[in-house]
Structure 1
């Protein structure tokens, strides 16, 4: 199985694309996630839409808006509110996890592998086969 993060941006106008991906793929929607981190002195959040693997093909897409939204528990904001409204509409609970920030990794791909490892360990996505 191939699992890959697809970065849309940092959660400004691309957040609307993330929401549209979830809406148009309701039949494949596995999870809505908020990955909280600290970047410098700022508490930030990445929002992610996790789809079920394709069949056939065994490809699992994890769409992400990386570290561009203020942590809603520190600073409530309209962007997270839109994501929460999406979760309510689709009957999903937003899974919230505290993670390292992407700047702690030499490459973005290493960061995404770190996140995939966390999601596998917590059984949010299937293990390698």
Structure 2
């Protein structure tokens, strides 16, 4: 099964699309994620939804490093994401990771995230 990140944007207005995906398809949401990292001295957070597989494909929708870390600077966008996860009865799993800026290509960053998610049993291993 192929697992792939689908980047919706950096979380400014596209976070509302991510929230709507969760609300419209709660039965497909496998996990909600928050990735915290530091970029140029600023704490940033990515929000993501792992969806249940469809055929031979498992999408992971993400808004990458676009909102402040809510543990340092409370913000409405994270609050809205958290409210959606409460509505669909899903917990947010949080990770502190390297930022995407440490990787020469975004695809390498996403491979790094997939490795972390497989290690933590958020994603099934490839057979």
TM-score (norm 1): 0.96
1:76 alignment partner in structure 2 = 74
1:1-129 matches, cutoff 5 A? 1-54=1-54, 57-129=55-127
Structure 1 CA distance for aligned equivalents of residues 57 and 29 of structure 2: 14
Q: Which shifted more, 20-29 or 116-125?
A: 20-29
Matched residue SS, 1:17: helix
- SS class of match (1:75): coil
Q: Distance in 2 between matches of 1:95 and 1:115?
A: 13
Give the deviation of 1:88 after TM superposition: 0.9
- Counterpart secondary structure, 2:123: coil
Deviations 1:55-81 (A, max 9, x none): xx2200000000000000000000000
CA drift at 1:26: 1.1
Give me the whole-angstrom Cα distance separating, in 1, the residues matched to 2:113 and 2:27. 24
What is the TM-score when the length of structure 2 is the normalising length? 0.98
Between stretches 23-32 and 93-102, larger displacement belongs to: 23-32
Structure 1, unaligned stretches of length 5 or more?
none
Unpaired runs of 5+ residues, structure 2, are: none
Q: What is the Cα-based RMSD across aligned positions, in Å?
A: 0.6
Query: Alignment length, in residue pairs?
Result: 127
